[in-house]
Structure 1
């Protein structure tokens, strides 16, 4: 089933204005160009339903460029990191898409947007520590839904710098996360919490040791975001040596079993970073129902990072106890973990 034409036009228009403006001049220009280009809209309609079409299209193009598919367009992407897009950028992009339309259509009809954003761990860490403080410092058993290559499951092995000497984690880690703090509240973080283990769930797990999966993950990072690409490369190198466990399944099918297998002395924490927006209403209802049902006899927390209203990404936690739930806003943060304003 192909995405409706009008919806594709709207997706690219909104993507360019609401997500790219101020973050990627190149993708803003290309998005707005596609939104008014019937030929490119038509081929973008091959995108897998339920996936964000702009991210898929740009990921597919950059995936081919990483293989050396077009030197001129590749130069446009490289230069975007340090200069405004050239006047020829859309013309070159359009010509490439039409020339390689069959390959791009094939990629966007079967690939998923699985951006494994390592920088988000700088926001996740204080949320996990808050959960742990509520659980009287029981070791955490972390279950990530939509884990992709499982890079966020390695959060205990990273180094965190929140400025003014507030550093946590492994100082020798090759993955060094820098996050600036905003607002009047002090950061609610005392330590890297103890862990009892972790596991991921994904309908299509990516393998950090696979060169093809590495290329797809790199292709999903925007051309200007060189720092994100470096973090990804460092995390992939670490993960490839000892890949995190990620189950291939729909989360609602295996979540009861995975929660039930957590060590009895652990506090179960389900992590969802920009994934529940891909659940339909029935799946979302079932997901929360599983957490309520599983909370009889053991405490369960769900840490959520969701799209915000443009002022930042809300970082929330929902605590489930004996079938009841309580939600709390812990922070507003940058979607890639560049800054955080603690409210919890």
Structure 2
């Protein structure tokens, strides 16, 4: 029997979740794959999926929809069957309720899975922050940062988080909130300044979320795997930082927004454009437009007004082969026209192999 790409995507995501210490979500993906093979509700919801379900993270769109339902209706049977601290879960019980939920909410689920997951994985900042500092090393001036695909813009406050690794630590002054990020670190100690050089921050997303909106907060939490309670706790603390700063990304197409921002960028600052697990989602024409914009403005960069492009992405998105679940941090700089692979990093920032010097 020929296995469909949707079926394969569900099984592949189950393998990745198992490798990333998410046994419940792995079991849920396998249950959805079995349901799809039987021609059940998952097959109905994903019938005629127009593009590549692995690149689209279709499995995570489905699990996110279910997690949202559990979070929003915390007294429901579904919520009680979902992972909770101090309770054991049963995939047989959870899937029976999940299947019923997918059937009851089929129209809503079909709409919600049209949008890509919005994770704002806060621990990715353990790689983004030293990556941004690597771009700033040697530049004696302020930094303006531009984030693409920012969702609620949580990681744009990466300099407000506290970091503790095997090789380095960082504590912001003043200590803004309770976001504590730990990671296993191998390789050299990265350059990290005593004070944050970030002067101005801006971000965009096609569907930006507002940290002060309860429904938007639930949407973000829904894309975190429910058995990983530490990630959920960090996300909630980061949401509080964004809410305190009343920060909401601009609603815009990434390519158009970036072109406009770089046309107007300051002449006395290092401008760093960055994104994390974003580049797989825009259509090819948008990715090409972003690349062309960066190259064009990079060619016009000067020592007084340099430009950098910091990317935290799966290996294939940056032209590398994917052998393991780890992703890479890649830095391009102008006017030096230098490209560096800074790190191999866990998708959720749990471990970092630092390569860039």
What TM-score, normalized to structure 1? 0.89
User: Which one of 247, 252, 256 corresponds to residue 253 of structure 1?
Assistant: 256
Equivalences for residues 75-114 of structure 1 within 5 A:
75-79=80-84, 83=88, 85-109=90-114, 111-114=115-118
Partners of 1:319 and 1:326 within 8 A in 2 = yes
Counterpart-to-counterpart distance in 2, 1:249 and 1:165: 36
Partners of 1:29 and 1:90 within 8 A in 2 = no
Q: Which runs of 4+ in 1 moved over 4 A?
A: 46-50
2:66 is the counterpart of 1:52: no
Counterpart-to-counterpart distance in 2, 1:163 and 1:81: 30
Match of 2:131 in 1: 127
User: Which one of 306, 314, 326 corresponds to residue 328 of structure 2?
Assistant: 314
In 2 relative to 1, CA 189–178 (structure 1 residues): closer, same or farther, beyond 3 Å?
same
Partners of 2:160 and 2:175 within 8 A in 1 = no
SS at match of 1:137: coil
Partners of 2:176 and 2:241 within 8 A in 1 = no
User: Aligned-pair distance for 1:119?
Assistant: 1.3
Equivalences for residues 187-226 of structure 1 within 5 A:
187-226=190-229
Counterpart-to-counterpart distance in 2, 1:43 and 1:80: 33
Q: Alpha carbon RMSD of aligned pairs, Å?
A: 2.4
2:268 is the counterpart of 1:270: no
Match of 2:318 in 1: none
Per-residue CA distance 1:166-211 (angstroms, 9 max, x = gap): 3332362323332334324233434454122010011111111111
Per-residue CA distance 1:123-149 (angstroms, 9 max, x = gap): 111111110004x23211110000111
Match of 2:41 in 1: 40
User: Which one of 288, 304, 307 corresponds to residue 300 of structure 1?
Assistant: 307
Partners of 1:121 and 1:155 within 8 A in 2 = yes
2:242 is the counterpart of 1:239: yes
Any unmatched runs of 5+ in structure 1?
A: none
Counterpart-to-counterpart distance in 1, 2:277 and 2:10: 19
Equivalences for residues 107-186 of structure 1 within 5 A:
107-109=112-114, 111-134=115-138, 136-163=139-166, 166-170=169-173, 172-186=175-189
Partners of 2:325 and 2:347 within 8 A in 1 = no
Any unmatched runs of 5+ in structure 2?
A: 316-321
Match of 1:289 in 2: 292
The aligned length equals 336
Per-residue CA distance 1:301-332 (angstroms, 9 max, x = gap): 111111243252211111233xx843211111
Partners of 1:81 and 1:225 within 8 A in 2 = no
Partners of 2:160 and 2:177 within 8 A in 1 = no
Partners of 2:332 and 2:338 within 8 A in 1 = yes
What TM-score, normalized to structure 2? 0.86
User: Aligned-pair distance for 1:237?
Assistant: 1.5
User: Which one of 7, 21, 43 corresponds to residue 9 of structure 1?
Assistant: 7
Counterpart-to-counterpart distance in 2, 1:306 and 1:105: 27
Partners of 2:208 and 2:248 within 8 A in 1 = no
Match of 1:343 in 2: 355
